Chain A
Amino acid sequence: MFTHNGRVSVRQVEIFLILQMLNTTILFLPKIAGDYVERNGYILPLLASILGVIYVFCIEGITKRFPKDTLVEFLPKIVPDFVAYIIIILFAVKILIITSLEARMLGEMISQVLLPKTPIQVIILVMLLSVAYLVKSGVEAIGRMGEVLIYFIAVSLVLVFLLVVPHGEYMQLMPFFQTNLRGIGVGTFVVSLIFMPLEIMLMLAGLMKETDKVRRAMLVPVIIVGIASAIIVLLTYVGVGFNETQRQVWPVLTLMQSMSLSGTMVENQEILMMTGWTFSIFIYLSSGVYFTSLIGSRSFKYKRENIFVLPLIPIAYFIAMIPENLVMAYDYYNKFQYYFGIWFILPVPLILAIIARGRRNSHAK
């Protein structure tokens, strides 16, 4: 009954973005932050939030000029058609690749921790098919699913925090502020890529019920995820130990394993983190598949928005299976984010906003 409404509320967008930002990167964020500023890694997500706010203004700068339009509609109004379609295709390809790599990382993680004997192909395919079923019902269904899942994720995260806080070795954070400014600068930029899902607002802003609240819908997730990430990094250092964090592939998962609940009802407490994270990835994959499909259907001016959903599943699956192993998948995932993560949250929206403003001024004259 709620399907194919095609419009989402501000609250749904906020939840949607929060869940997307809590993607795989969160699981190794403490390690990334530690690479740049060592034990002070927890300050990077907070500083990165400032960059996140800049990304928000860049994206809002372009979307507010074209309320009710998605990237597919407003881009040809700013730049020549062929340039517009090149950018749109690049955007769709980028979303599809990062979604596929995210699916692969999910598969690797589930294989490692939960289902070692289940083939990774089955894990990825089952997840993608579940995603296809949700996405088929449109953006509002994804928004509503997010509203349901956010409670499970929030409860898992709060439980994680409550378990770690009393047992942490807070001396791990010392010595304080023994780092250089270059490390802080580069680290802040790299960590700010956790806000990459903001790029989806280039499509989603046009599907909002209240288009005048786009900025708020982006700012709230940036602040919440910035703070949550800082807490996660801090707790990982005090729970696992800084040096050990740098050795781990998935330090946040190790954090959960480091809390001793021996002899109690719960012994495999890492499942709490896994639950929240898996739900979050489910929404991430849903978003990736949905918006790639939406770009296709709007570009070809099809009425049905989900027409490309099923054809995209095997493509996403095959991209996900390209890396031969975890090491390769991890490398591809990080490099792809590092080199392509920034394009649609800063340069592209900024350049488009400048061109759009220039054109309006020239029309005004």
Chain B
Amino acid sequence: MQNKLKFIAMTMLILNTSFILTGCWDSVEINERNVVMEVAIDKNQDADLSQPINKRDSYQITYTIPDRAKLSGKDSLAKDVKSSIVTTTPTIETSVDEVESKSQNTITFSHTQAIVLGEELMKDSDLFRGAIDGLIRNMEISRTTNLLATRGKAGNLTQEDNEQNPILGLYVMKYFNNTERPVSYAKEQLVGNMIRELEDTNISTIPVINTDEKGAVEISGAAVIRNYELVDFIGKDVVRGQLFVEGKINQVPIVVEYKGSSLTYIIDTEHSKITFNSDGNVADANIEILTEGNITEYVSTDTKNIFSIEDINQITILLQDEIRHQVMVAVNKSKEINVDFLNIGLQMYRKHPKQWQSYSQNWEDEGYKSFPIKIQVTSTIKNTGMLE
């Protein structure tokens, strides 16, 4: 009898413990949560500058909350599936507080897929730095959230209709998760990676998202950031050069003219390495690029077409020149705006730390601008497709 009582008491105790350990203070039913899929952060242009900084509504933040019931299924045809809440507050956290007051449910950022930064916000280093700090300090938003920049106001972009996917955050998530997509004009940037880059070199790039005249969303080009401040927007051609230097090019078509016709070469794999010629002093940088790919498109009336070693050798030389030219676009742009977003200085510090000391002082002023950079491309054509 005593053993039975002991068993019952123990069972009750263990069951109770399991209830205690569920953390009921923090439990919120899933249908009582509003899952924010994207956050657009802008500088509030109408902020009253006469107010002290802690009272000034410097940020304008737009939260997009999907209606999960309408969104059920991957290809929902429902309309009005999202609602946007706009707040103007002095800090990111007060914005969260305000959005909570405008929402019937608990707000959660655990599945936020995209943060879009407006142009004016990126031009204000204090606000930009404050926004990033506010996002990550209390771990509400994951460091793996995609970060994007936009020309103009980010809030306008997230509130627009996107025919492909009404929720911009989901669009961005699918866009960057698609491993079959060619990596050619935009470099993915995550919150944590951007912070790491800024901590390492004070320089980072953020992909630009915009809509064209017909309202179609496009992710291409980048915003160049130095010390949490926008320096310039760079076009997609420059980003392609940057991707070449970083060895991230994948499934990208290169088109050259060969014997009067266009020839298309798709790069399957690309590797790059930055080396420095050094005999005591670092004299110049050498960007070595290796590509492997296939010829996928070429029209010729010649019977043998391009199926000969001589042709392949000549085409290889043309391709190497074209790739070198594309990389040079990025090198020239980085020198023009005097921002080392290709990380030449970082590589020198890592590989030649002693020699780097003589450059580090004026690298950002004149050092990078006048530093010689050479590009060496080695391309391999694996096959010419099913035709000769």
Contact = CB atoms under 8 A, between A and B. Distances in A.
Given A118-B25, A126-B20, A243 B350 contact: no
Contacts of B110: 267-268
Contacts of B142: 257, 267-268
Interface stretch (A171-179, A194-202, A338-346): A171-179
Interface stretch (B155-163, B192-200, B296-304, B366-374): B192-200
A232 to B, nearest CB: 18
B23 A115 contact: yes
Contacts of B26: 114-118
A259 interface: yes
A358 B142 CA distance: 61
Contact of A178 (B193, B199, B200, B353): B353
Contacts of B17: 130
13 contacts: A113-B139, A118-B23, A118-B25, A126-B21, A175-B350, A241-B195, A244-B199, A257-B143, A258-B143, A262-B176, A263-B173, A267-B111, A267-B142
B190 to A, nearest CB: 6
Interface of A: 112-119, 122, 126, 130, 169, 171, 174-175, 178, 240-244, 247, 254, 257-263, 267-268
Contacts of B55: none
Contacts of B196: 169, 240-241, 243-244
B324 to A, nearest CB: 24
A338 B107 CA distance: 42
Contacts of A241: 195-196, 199-200
Contacts, number: 77
A171 B23 contact: no
Interface of B: 17, 20-21, 23-26, 110-111, 113, 138-139, 142-146, 173-174, 176-177, 190, 192-193, 195-196, 199-200, 347, 349-351, 353
SS of A interface (majority):
loop
Contacts of B176: 262
A122 B144 CA distance: 31
A169 B353 CA distance: 18
Contacts of A169: 196
Contacts of B145: 262
A243 B201 CA distance: 10
B25 A257 contact: no
A112 B17 CA distance: 22
A290 B24 CA distance: 29
B144 A243 contact: no
Given A263-B174, A263-B177, A257 B349 contact: no
A257 B21 contact: no
A75 B142 CA distance: 53
B139 A260 contact: no
A262 B199 contact: no
Given A243-B199, A244-B199, A258 B192 contact: yes
B107 to A, nearest CB: 13
B139 A257 contact: yes
Contacts of B146: 262
A244 B195 contact: yes
Given A240-B192, A257-B142, A262-B176, 16 more contacts: A112-B138, A116-B26, A117-B26, A118-B26, A174-B350, A175-B349, A175-B353, A241-B195, A242-B200, A254-B143, A258-B144, A258-B193, A260-B144, A262-B113, A262-B145, A267-B111
Contacts of A261: 144
Q: Which 5 A-B residue pairings sit nearest by Cβ, starting from the closest?
A: A241-B196, A174-B350, A243-B199, A118-B25, A260-B144
Contacts of B21: 126, 130
Nearest to B352: A175
Contacts of B139: 112-113, 257
A260 B173 CA distance: 11
Nearest to A112: B139
A262 B177 contact: yes
Nearest to A171: B350
A171 B353 CA distance: 13
Contacts of A115: 23, 25-26
User: Which among B113, B144, B146 has the highest number of chain A CB atoms within 10 Å?
Assistant: B144
Contacts of B24: 118
A122 B25 contact: yes
A283 B186 CA distance: 48
B77 to A, nearest CB: 22
Contacts of A262: 113, 144-146, 173, 176-177
B167 to A, nearest CB: 13
A112 B143 CA distance: 15
A261 B113 CA distance: 11
A195 to B, nearest CB: 30
B88 to A, nearest CB: 26
Contacts of B174: 263
B350 A260 contact: no
Contacts of A254: 143, 192
A117 B145 CA distance: 24
B270 to A, nearest CB: 17
A302 B138 CA distance: 48
A195 B104 CA distance: 51
A121 to B, nearest CB: 11
A243 B200 contact: yes
A306 to B, nearest CB: 17
A175 B195 contact: no
Residue of A126, A257, A259 contacting most chain B CB atoms (<10 Å) = A257
Nearest to B353: A175
Contacts of B173: 262-263
Nearest to A249: B137
